[in-house]
Structure 1
Amino acid sequence: MPAVSRRALLVAAIALAAVGSGVAVAVSADEGIPRGVEVAGIEVGGLSRAQAESTIEAGLRAQASEPLMLAADGDTLTIDPAASGLSVDVPATVARTLSAGPLDRLGGVLGVDRDVDLVVVAPPTALSAQLRRVAEGFDRPAVEGSITFTPEAVPAAVEAVTGRELDIAGSVEAIGERWLRTGSTRLEVPVDVTPVRTSAQEVQRALELVARPAVAAPITVDVEGDPLVVEPADIAQALRLEPDVFGALVPRLLEDVLYEQLRYRLRTVGDPVRDATFDVSSGTPVVVPAKDGRSVSAPDLAAAVLGVLGEPPPRTASAPLSVATVRITTEKAATLGVREQIGTFTTRHPCCRPRVENIHRIAEIVDGHVVLPGETFDLNAIVGPRDEARGFLPAPQILKGQFVDAVGGGISQFATTLFNAVFFSGLEDVEHVPHSYYISRYPPGREATVSFPKP
């Protein structure tokens, strides 16, 4: 026979052998799982369907019951697979091992291993609930770098923190795809990260060049001839350093906060307004008319202070007066329906001591204040901090069970007198705090103390 014909017959014989081998593999597959098949690292090749199911269940039992650890942005979150509804559909997984084609089966005969994926059941509702639970302690909002101030007006840097939020939908998908497949109980889940604009260098720059100079000394604002001193503590309360679009921290003064800090000192500036009130000295309430005045506005005051914030001491600025309107007009007072005095109370004190001066001073500030229907009277909010600039003197005050001198000491007698007047008027007592021990000049069980900002 010619050489060419012999080669052709040899190729045909090999091809026929290969086809015959494929038929043999297909026939043997009907009896069990092809050789060389693994599921999540568990060998099931050559086993029957029932044997394979038992083998997979036994091989996964320990790992499937272990807590699932999720790697998220450098942290580890842990969920309970059972509580999350996670499970493996073992029959479906075995069915997947039996779906091999002829070439896969041929590979098994030739010693080629094949890994089949698990069929994982990951119910979105239960799994999402577990993920949201652990996300409560993981998620955080982005915090831009800034500057804060202590009550003593000492600035401190606040470093920026990137925000992050666990991607619940992405995590459900990742767990469904990779749980028990990697041979580990720890897998990576996606996190949505919110970047910040401010850098650590910018925060330090703002601390040194903006915040510290801003509270280095008082600022005196000339309000058309009337001096108004703005203390570092006032500035610290109202100053905010916020990032612009480029991440630079820019100073801003909260107008309303600054104005509130200075509200009591503003009573001596310009021509202060006077709300309508009532005179009950005759026994019958009589309306005392309101009076408009001229004062510095909150925007003008903030602009004046902000304009010299970066200058070295001594710092001065100027601000104009403008027309100021009253809170309670004469007409409004007349329509309130105030017809009679419903409560009064009197306590007595000796003359001329510093504590007595403080009692008179707080009475002057509160006198005539009208509480409208639905409003809550707050003594500290009306009077503000007690300081010598506003006429208060050092006098004995109880501090941690001991009498010590403090500016404004003694005004608890005023607080007790006011509390009893409210009590006998039948008005609601929203909050009061008694002294730390009984003082004989006060009625037992009906006394109150006061300090600033809280008793």
Structure 2
Amino acid sequence: MSALRSRRVLIITAAVVLVAVLGYAVPAISLAGKVPPGTRVDGVDIGGLAPEAARSHLDRQLAQRVRQPMTLVAGGKRVQLTPAELGLDFDARSTVEAAMDGAATPAGIARSLFGSRQLPARVLVDEQRLAAGLADLAKSVDTKPVQGGVRYQGLEPRTILPKPGRALDRDGAAQAVRAAFAAGRDSVELKLRVAPPALTAAQVKEVAAGTARTAVASPLTLASGGKQATVSREQLAAGLRFVADGKGGLRPSYDAGKIAADMAKSLLIKPPKDASFTIVKGKPKVVPAQVGHGADIKTLGPAIAGAVAAGSRRVDLPATARQPRVTTAEAAKLGVKEQVSSFTTQYPCCAPRVTNIHTIADIVDGYVVQPGETFSLNDVVGKRDKARGFVEAPMILNNRFVNDVGGGVSQFATTMFNAVFFGGFQDVQHRAHQYYISRYPAGRESTVSYPQPDFRWRNDSRYGVLIKTSYTNTSVTVQFWSTKRYDIESQSSDRYNVKPVETLTEKGEDCIPMGGSEGFAIDVWRIFKKDGKVLRKQRFHTVYDPEPRLTCEK
């Protein structure tokens, strides 16, 4: 090759190289530090912008999507939450960095000059907030499996067969929500998974046919400190259940609530004695409380369940101290210092009902009603029975006088009602007699029977109330000792809506004659005073039916 030709080749080669270098260098220099032209992120054009400007532009354009609610659908439940509430956001910085990646390479320059590019926005996820949002949704769609168990209908075991539940697939839901947000979808269907029970139907049926039937085949004996009591088959079945034990089986569980009070009394080794007061020279003096001793009833349910599991028919309960309801220290702080009310009612001597009045008065005497406590005459006295000295005497039942154990105790309820009335304490429940009884103040009296109607009142003061009772052959008195709050006066209306007496004749050995009295309505006001000023008035409205004049023919 000649020298001239070689020189031409070199010149041509140099020119080509120069063109190539200039073709790369010129656009590279002009595009340096900018997002390549034609770059779009989820439809937002950021091409040709400096990185900071691109980030700001993306933040503005994508902010609406962060605030736009997404509909999450799971198990028929639809919940709308914004991506922000779910901890989702766009990462403009990393998105722009991704757009800039490779922009200065020849391929990047060529793409910038002759092409375009679509990029997804990068997503930021606050995993804790996303998990919390999905947990709230799960609460509304998850259903726990029914583990199955055994109950009783009477003495017959009845099975509750296991059933599967359902639960939100939280990991899958988190992925689906992130993907839907990144893709710009405003609704996403989330999957539920089956939550299987730990037990099988065969296991439940086996327990019902075997252990559950044997468990109530005979009574159970409770023993503590030399005392014994019996839990009948019916009492066992009423509280006994077989429930999942968390280990793939069933275990017995016993709810002792319905028998606890009776068993506590039956297994009482030494009764506790509340602190009370004795009146010495017109002043209350504290009588110390005494701690009792009896079976630990708190362990009754688990102990019976344990005996059933072991196939035993005897339960030995530990004995524990039985604390008094009112301690000595509490009594000293109750402000029981003076008589605040007293009331006496009269009756003819020596009838059987007088025995009942004296008996109930003895039971209630010395009882201390704590501040805020509601006193229930039936709860304190319990059912009237011959074992404690109550006898048969007339009472009103179904419009007639009948003989019943404890008849006549309404006179004590009436006497206490008036002590409550003049003591200024809150009447909670009282019911007047059906017929007016002349030995009681009209409209200011109360009947009582067991279990209803009860007589209840509330100590709405901040002081304790000591109940003291006394009686003679012809009268009973109830006194309240506390700290005096009010002077109480009683005011009564005239009788109105008077209804005449009906004369009747009946036959039968159980017939008890009735003297007859008019029916009427009456209003009584309790007037609260302090320092001579009327504070308020309370109205008691009472309606009495006419008592028939009944003659009995044998």
| TM-score of the pair, normalised by structure 2 | 0.47
Structure 1 residue aligned with 2:422: 424
Structure 1 residue aligned with 2:119: 115
Query: Which of 39, 42, 49 lines up with 2:41 in the alignment?
Result: 39
Structure 1 residue aligned with 2:308: 309
The higher radius of gyration belongs to 2
Structure 1 residue aligned with 2:231: 230
**Which residues of structure 2 form unaligned runs of 5+?**
2-9, 399-404, 457-554
**Cα distance in 2, alignment partners of residues 250 and 414 from structure 1:** 50
Matches within 5 A, 1:257-336: 257=256, 261-264=259-262, 266-267=264-265, 272-273=270-271, 275-276=273-274, 277=276, 295-298=294-297, 305-306=304-305, 309=308, 317=314, 319=316, 327=324
Q: Is the 8 A contact 2:227 2:269 kept in 1?
A: no
Q: Is the 8 A contact 2:240 2:254 kept in 1?
A: yes
Structure 1 residue aligned with 2:80: 78
User: 1:262 is matched by which residue type in structure 2?
Assistant: A
Q: 1:179 to 1:349 in 2, by over 3 A?
A: farther
Q: C-alpha displacement at 1:67, in angstroms?
A: 1.1
Q: Is the 8 A contact 2:90 2:121 kept in 1?
A: no
Structure 1 residue aligned with 2:183: 182
**Cα distance in 2, alignment partners of residues 58 and 330 from structure 1:** 72
Q: C-alpha displacement at 1:273, in angstroms?
A: 1.8
**Cα distance in 2, alignment partners of residues 389 and 142 from structure 1:** 55
Q: C-alpha displacement at 1:184, in angstroms?
A: 1.1
**Cα distance in 2, alignment partners of residues 205 and 387 from structure 1:** 46
Post-superposition Cα deviations, 1:376-423, rounded to whole Å, max 9, x if no partner, equal: 345399459869999999x9999xxxxxxxx99999997776565445
Structure 2 residue aligned with 1:402: none
Q: 1:234 to 1:33 in 2, by over 3 A?
A: same
Structure 2 residue aligned with 1:401: none
Q: C-alpha displacement at 1:181, in angstroms?
A: 1.8
Q: C-alpha displacement at 1:104, in angstroms?
A: 3.9
Structure 1 residue aligned with 2:536: none
Structure 2 residue aligned with 1:4: none
**Cα distance in 2, alignment partners of residues 215 and 387 from structure 1:** 32
Q: Is the 8 A contact 1:271 1:294 kept in 2?
A: yes
Q: Is the 8 A contact 2:151 2:242 kept in 1?
A: no
**Cα distance in 2, alignment partners of residues 389 and 18 from structure 1:** 122
**Cα distance in 1, alignment partners of residues 48 and 309 from structure 2:** 82
**Cα distance in 1, alignment partners of residues 326 and 176 from structure 2:** 66
Matched, 1:376 2:376: no
Structure 1 residue aligned with 2:251: 250
Q: Secondary structure at the match of 1:250?
A: strand
Q: C-alpha displacement at 1:424, in angstroms?
A: 3.4
Post-superposition Cα deviations, 1:284-312, rounded to whole Å, max 9, x if no partner, equal: 76878877877544378667744653699
**Which residues of structure 1 form unaligned runs of 5+?**
2-8, 399-406
Q: 1:46 to 1:214 in 2, by over 3 A?
A: same
Q: 1:188 to 1:273 in 2, by over 3 A?
A: same
Q: 1:235 to 1:48 in 2, by over 3 A?
A: same
Q: 1:84 to 1:348 in 2, by over 3 A?
A: farther
Matches within 5 A, 1:16-415: 22-23=24-25, 26=28, 29=31, 34=36, 37-40=39-42, 42=43, 44=45, 66-70=68-72, 77-80=79-82, 97=99, 100-101=102-103, 102=105, 103-107=107-111, 113-118=117-122, 138-139=138-139, 145=147, 157=160, 180-186=181-187, 198-199=198-199, 201=201, 214=215, 219-221=220-222, 228-231=229-232, 235=236, 246-253=247-254, 257=256, 261-264=259-262, 266-267=264-265, 272-273=270-271, 275-276=273-274, 277=276, 295-298=294-297, 305-306=304-305, 309=308, 317=314, 319=316, 327=324, 341-344=339-342, 368-371=366-369, 376-377=373-374, 379=376, 382-383=379-380
Q: C-alpha displacement at 1:317, in angstroms?
A: 3.4
User: 2:260 is matched by which residue type in structure 1?
Assistant: L
RMSD: 7.1
| TM-score of the pair, normalised by structure 1 | 0.53
Q: Secondary structure at the match of 1:263?
A: helix
Q: Secondary structure at the match of 1:78?
A: strand
Q: Secondary structure at the match of 2:265?
A: helix
Q: Is the 8 A contact 1:242 1:250 kept in 2?
A: yes
Q: C-alpha displacement at 1:59, in angstroms?
A: 7.9
**Cα distance in 2, alignment partners of residues 16 and 205 from structure 1:** 94
Greater percentage in strand: 2
Q: Secondary structure at the match of 1:309?
A: helix
Q: 1:156 to 1:366 in 2, by over 3 A?
A: farther
Q: C-alpha displacement at 1:182, in angstroms?
A: 1.4
Q: 1:352 to 1:66 in 2, by over 3 A?
A: farther
Q: 1:183 to 1:134 in 2, by over 3 A?
A: closer
Q: Is the 8 A contact 1:69 1:77 kept in 2?
A: yes
Q: Secondary structure at the match of 2:308?
A: coil
Aligned length: 414
User: 1:79 is matched by which residue type in structure 2?
Assistant: L
**Cα distance in 2, alignment partners of residues 200 and 65 from structure 1:** 47
**Cα distance in 2, alignment partners of residues 227 and 384 from structure 1:** 23
**Cα distance in 2, alignment partners of residues 46 and 300 from structure 1:** 77
User: 2:259 is matched by which residue type in structure 1?
Assistant: Q
**Cα distance in 2, alignment partners of residues 305 and 57 from structure 1:** 67
**Cα distance in 2, alignment partners of residues 110 and 304 from structure 1:** 86
Q: Secondary structure at the match of 1:432?
A: strand
Q: 1:291 to 1:53 in 2, by over 3 A?
A: closer
**Cα distance in 2, alignment partners of residues 334 and 219 from structure 1:** 40
**Cα distance in 1, alignment partners of residues 406 and 169 from structure 2:** 50
**Cα distance in 2, alignment partners of residues 37 and 139 from structure 1:** 43
Q: 1:222 to 1:200 in 2, by over 3 A?
A: same
Q: Is the 8 A contact 2:242 2:252 kept in 1?
A: yes
Q: Is the 8 A contact 1:223 1:321 kept in 2?
A: yes
Q: Is the 8 A contact 1:304 1:317 kept in 2?
A: no
Q: C-alpha displacement at 1:275, in angstroms?
A: 1.3
Q: Is the 8 A contact 1:38 1:113 kept in 2?
A: yes
Q: Is the 8 A contact 2:27 2:109 kept in 1?
A: yes
Q: Is the 8 A contact 2:343 2:416 kept in 1?
A: yes
User: 1:261 is matched by which residue type in structure 2?
Assistant: I
Q: C-alpha displacement at 1:38, in angstroms?
A: 3.6
Greater percentage in helix: 1
